[in-house]
Structure 1
Amino acid sequence: MMNKIIKKLGLATTLTLGITHVAAAKDTVVIGEVSWDASLAIEQILKQVMEKHLDVDVKIIATDQSAIWAAMDKGKGSIDIHPDVWTSSQAEPWAKFVVKGGKESVLANQKPYMGTEGLFIPGYIQDEYDINSVYDLAKPEVAKLFDQDGDGKGDFWPGAPGWGIVKVNQVKARSYGFDKYFKAFHVSDAILRAQLKTAYRKKKGILFYSWTPDWIHKAYDLRKLEEPKFTGYASDDKRHHPSYNPDGCWKMVEGDNWLEKSSITCDWPETKVYLAYSKSLLTRNTQVAQFLNNVSFTTDDISQWIYQIAQEKELPEDVAEEWINNNQNVITQWLNQS
């Protein structure tokens, strides 16, 4: 009889514990993984902070950006967060889901970090020869500093074969007038970076398209050449773009004679890069929504994370843990700011 009583008590205890466990189940927050190194670090920082401080389970699901936007729009929790939205390349879903007047089903953090693009040269070349602007390139004596094959003309890298940016940079070279003294060379991104390493070792000139954030800006002293300020897209295909301006500086034409018909006489528009999240989190988990609203990153930090992942071969979760441990004051602000 005593054994039966003990067994019954044990069963009751098990059932009670099971009920308690169900009642205390944590909310699950899902981050969409978009694979590039910056995003991998951001995802891990969000995951580690939310799991430690906001009592939620965080899952990371690899998928494409269109699926992330669709899931955030539905607000059912299949994917809640897009960790790294480059508004320049995601203009359509940004306008559809985030911008006032659209569906407004997706929210973004208050403070984005800034992404930039342009033509870069080594710091030692700029300091010695006082080359500061793209217009400085339209001089034969300057072009010779970037002559890689000894033919008397400068060489510049407009981007890797297949990148849409290649045509843009060729138009810029013609519009700024340095195409007379430079020719484009077409190699992969990996080969360009190997050439950059060699150029630095030998203190030679190298002119190439790049962007921030990226690890090379942590590894080398690189200087972006000055260009006139962006004043808008003038092409007909940009009529519905927020930055459309019929008198703008950026006119890119496709089709026959695209190089002769196009003209770009200004800098790239600086890109705001946001963390986006489903508006449904406002009701599903207010603390998480408030935290995501407060999160902000710096371009310098992100370049450092990319460097550690891409060059030092550190795991994204280790990079995130190290940064969190060294920036507890920042984490506190994210968690407590109203």
Structure 2
Amino acid sequence: MKRSHLSQFLIVGVSAAALWAAPVSLATAQEMPGEGTTVKMGQATWDTGWFHAEIYKQLLQKLGYEVEGPTTLDNPPFYQAVSQGDLDLWVNGWFPLHNTYESTFSQGAEKVGHVAEGGALEGYLVDKASVEKFNIKTLDDFKRPEVKEAFDRNDDGKADLVACPPGWGCEVNIEHHLDAYELRDHVNPIKAGYAASMADAIAAYEQGEPILFYTWTPNWTVNELVPGEDVMWIEVPEVDLPEEMAELEDAATLAGVNGCVADPCKLGFPANDIRPVANSSFLEENPAAKALLSEVKIPLDAIFAQNAKMNAGEGDPEDIQRHASEWIEANGDLVEGWLTSAREAAM
């Protein structure tokens, strides 16, 4: 009889202990739904996208995920890798610019959420002094002999254009423009590393030389050379997009572009959304990560400001990590709302 009471006491004691411990374990699981899962993250080769990549990385870590990387790679290998599950995600998708890669990733990956909507511009800029001196309005003006000669820095008889390295989405559009506007005999696209090419162009500008370059926003270039003050956005002769983007023609002319030679401004590139792209199986298995990617938005002004810091010498990985953690801390209420939504999605 005593043994029976003792057995009952032990059973009840064990059950009570289990019930007492359960909330602690459940609370941990709710707080850190990604615990035990490794996220294989990629990031773009353009360093202006590394700040928001680091923010997302640190937010995933706050949910308990172990984050591997981010691994820096060009667009084609990333979209192939995320489709196959070799990588789980990046937050450097530019759409519609990256529409050309959808056939590569659409079978195994998908767009989810927005880093920034609609404010990512692309186009061609010329130093303001040359715009005024030569009355430059569009790319067609670079067919004029006196303009070509002024912008020819390597004596090949063509105006030099800081363009995009091979593999970047903007390379496709620029190459299309060179053919569509019959500029092959007039413009030389420089496809070396973008940051180094822009540094050379800025040095030339500071020496009073004319410069022509492609850029996008957010980007440190428009902090260094301010549209409307140092440089001007010029237009394309007419909007002419690659076939796979032809339906976006209307989005390539924008009103109110500060520092453009005309308003509305025929930039020749549709305004872009910056978006995460993630492996579909990963999203299905990780509802907390999917909710986080859906919730987060980074103000363009914050990206501009951080890019300027990078250009001023704070471009080491440790600097970017610090910039991201400082931004997260400064926006604590906003961030906590994102994390709460992600945790609730995992329950």
TM score, norm. by length of structure 2: 0.61
2:201 to 186, 196, 205: 196
In 2, distance between residues paired with 1:275 and 1:93? 14
**1:215 — aligned with what?**
220
Q: Establish whether residue 316 from structure 1 lines up as the match of residue 317 from structure 2.
A: no
- Counterpart of 1:122? 127
CA distance in structure 2 between the aligned counterparts of 1:174 and 1:31, rounded to whole angstroms? 39
Q: How does 1:27-42 map to 2 (within 5 A)?
A: 27-28=33-34, 30-34=39-43, 36=45, 37-42=47-52
Instruction: Work out whether residues 31 and 43 of structure 1, in 8 Å CA contact, stay in contact via their aligned partners in 2.
Output: no
Q: How many angstroms apart in 1 are the aligned matches of 2:200 and 2:274?
A: 29
Secondary structure (helix, strand or coil) at the match of 2:275 reads strand
Inter-CA distance 119–70: structure 2 relative to 1 (3 Å threshold): same
**Percent identical:** 19
SS in 2 for 1:302: helix
Residue 67 (structure 1) aligned with residue 84 (structure 2) = no
Q: Distance in 1 between matches of 2:55 and 2:144?
A: 47
Equivalent residue for 1:45, pick from 42, 51, 55? 55
1:83, distance to aligned residue in structure 2 (A): 1.9
In 1, the alpha carbon distance for the partners of 2:159 and 2:101 equals: 37
Q: 2:290 aligns to what SS in structure 1?
A: helix
RMSD, aligned α-carbons: 4.6
- Cα pair 2:149 2:158 within 8 Å, conserved: yes
Task: Answer whether contact 1:160 1:188 (CA < 8 A) is retained.
Answer: yes
Q: 1:1-338 residue pairs with structure 2 within 5 A?
A: 24=28, 26-28=32-34, 30-34=39-43, 36=45, 37-52=47-62, 55-63=63-71, 65=78, 66-71=80-85, 80-87=88-95, 90-91=98-99, 94-95=102-103, 106-110=110-114, 112-113=116-117, 115-126=120-131, 130-148=135-153, 155-157=159-161, 159=163, 169=174, 172-173=177-178, 175-176=180-181, 182-184=186-188, 186=190, 188-189=192-193, 191-221=196-226, 222-227=231-236, 230=239, 232-234=241-243, 241=244, 243=245, 267-278=268-279, 286-309=287-310, 311-314=313-316, 315-328=319-332, 330-331=334-335, 334=338
Residues 125-177 of structure 1, C-alpha deviation per residue, up to 9 Å, x if partnerless? Answer: 335655332233343444444243678x5522263675687796466356536
CA distance in 2 between counterparts of 1:38 and 1:290 reads 25
**Residue identity matched to 1:321:** S
The more displaced of 291-300 and 108-117 is: 108-117
Q: Number of paired residues?
A: 287
Give the drift of 1:317. Answer: 0.9
Matched-pair contact (CA < 8 Å) for 2:124–2:267: no
Per-residue CA deviation, residues 299-323 of structure 1 (Å, 9 max, x unaligned), is 5543443443464224221121222
Tell me if structure 1 keeps the 8 A contact 2:48–2:220: no
> Structure 2: which 5+ residue stretches go unaligned?
1-13, 72-76, 250-265, 343-347
Describe the shift of the 1:67–1:329 C-alpha distance in structure 2 as closer, same or farther (beyond 3 A).
Answer: same
Report if the CA contact (8 A) 2:114-2:274 is conserved.
Answer: no
Q: What displacement does 1:333 show?
A: 6.2
Moved more, 43-52 or 274-283: 274-283
* CA-CA distance at 1:337 after TM superposition: 7.9
**1:50 CA drift (Å):** 4.4
CA distance in 2, matches of 1:304, 1:38: 11
Question: For the Cα contact (< 8 Å) 1:324–1:331, is it kept in 2?
Answer: yes
Name the CA shift for 1:168/1:83 in 2 (closer, same or farther; >3 Å). closer
Structure 1 unaligned residues grouped into runs of 5+: 1-11, 73-78, 235-240, 248-264
Contact 2:147 2:159 in 1 (8 A): no
Q: CA deviation at 1:274?
A: 0.7
Partner deviation per Cα, 1:61-111 (whole Å, 9 max, x = no partner): 345523333339xxxxxx64322223467546635765xxx67x6451056
Matching residue's letter, 2:335: I
Q: Secondary structure at the match of 2:236?
A: coil
Query: Does the C-alpha gap of structure 1 residues 155 and 45 become closer, same or farther in structure 2, counting only changes over 3 Å?
Result: same
